[in-house]
Amino acid sequence: MTWPAHPSWFARSTLRLALGCALMMAAAPGGCAPGPQPPARPSRSESGPEAPADDRAASKPDQEAPPALDRKPPGPAPEGMVWVPGGTFWMGADDPSMSDARPVHEVTVDGFWMDRTEVTNRQFARFVAATGYVTVAERKPDPKDFPGAPPENLVPGSLVFTPPAGEVSFEDPLIWWRYVPGASWRHPEGPETTIEGKDHYPVVQVCWDDAMAYARWAGKRLPTEAEWECAARGGKVRTRYVWGDTLRPDGTWPANIWQGHFPDRNSAADGFARTAPVASFPPNGYGLFDMAGNVWEWCADWYRPGYEVSPDHNPQGPSSSYDPHEPGVAKRVQRGGSFLCSDQYCTRYLPGARGKGSPDSGASHVGFRCALSPRPEPPDGRRAP
């Protein structure tokens, strides 16, 4: 299926509309009237035409491995991180249904450190304990975004995947998503749920702003989109999946993605109906876990559909955001897909595929991991202490 309005790509305005529906039900008997729209965020830029499909990359023979710039780690690995040697690789997706991930083009990145796994509940809890940080999902919605809404209904919460009882149309993702008061990183699926006993599960219900706050505290940063894809490919060249070209090598499921009928029946053939503890599946060629499936991961870049074709070294992404589906809402890139990805609905767990989300929007299948640039060598060659 082509690009649907997937909740992980909903802007905060869409979440607000979902919450607004719940808040305005009393004013619209028999259904959810859209009611007044929240104020649109000012567009950061005018839209340019989406980059046309470009198959020039397909004419260049695949290489045995991408040439690496920094094959040797610059020193001991920081705790919980692995060295990604960087190099030149083919970025993007050949899939014609993923026009926003085209054209496939060559990109070069320098080596960097990356978290071996997604940030876990335990790690995020340490950050919160040390700083007193309150995530966006735990904050009370601003009444200005919901004019006329009863104050008692303006409560913190977030979006939770809620499978329907039976087969439904894919046209309205709100059928299987619900704004749940009290949902947060501590209560991923609502106030009755908990992360107790789930120290090693990926933290979810964190928005881009939350991820950035954690990264700053940890002395790290979010990876650029190019770094993320380079890391996800693990040294493989233009394979369909992170692990190769076969969906189920040796008949096993190599990632936490959806099996069964989406969105009502997940057979959990991979062992997990929702998120899985980090490192539950084999690592890729660089020793990174869960670079496909489990939870979406925030990147540093602003989102725009398509890529510039010109060769680039360490691209930082566009200087502004534009999403033709919601032109007034700025968005950041998400990568890697989640446990909800299915070949019936969303195959965006592929290494070149992309997601998007408003920086202040989280959900029950969105997390992150961090990156770290090596310290530059001083002129005399001795590494600074």
| Among 366, 263, 368, 316, CA closest to 12 | 366
Q: How many other C-beta atoms lie within 10 A of the C-beta of residue 41?
A: 17
164 is written with which tokens?
A: 């329907």
pLDDT in the model for residue 377: 56
- Beta strand extents in 135-176 (DSSP E only): 157-161
> What residue has token string 């904050």?
139
**Mean pLDDT of residues grouped by 10 in the chain (385 residues)?**
36 42 33 28 31 33 47 92 95 92 95 98 98 96 80 88 85 84 97 97 98 98 98 95 94 95 92 97 97 98 89 91 93 97 87 95 96 75 41
pLDDT in the model for residue 30: 30
pLDDT in the model for residue 8: 37
**Residues 353, 346: Cα–Cα separation, whole Å:** 10
pLDDT in the model for residue 12: 45
229 phi/psi in degrees, rounded to 5: -70, -40
Domain boundaries, the chain: 1-14+72-374
Q: How long a stretch of residues is the chain?
A: 385
pLDDT in the model for residue 379: 53
pLDDT in the model for residue 45: 32
The distance in angstroms from the start CA to the end CA of the chain is 52
Q: Bridge partners of 118?
A: none
- With H, G, I as helix, E, B as strand and everything else as coil, classify residue 228: helix
149 is written with which tokens?
A: 């809404």
**Could you read off the pLDDT of 179-230 as tens digits, one per residue?**
999 999 999 999 999 999 999 999 999 999 999 999 999 999 999 999 999 9
CATH code reported for the domain at 1-14+72-374: 3.90.1580.10
Residue type, 56: R
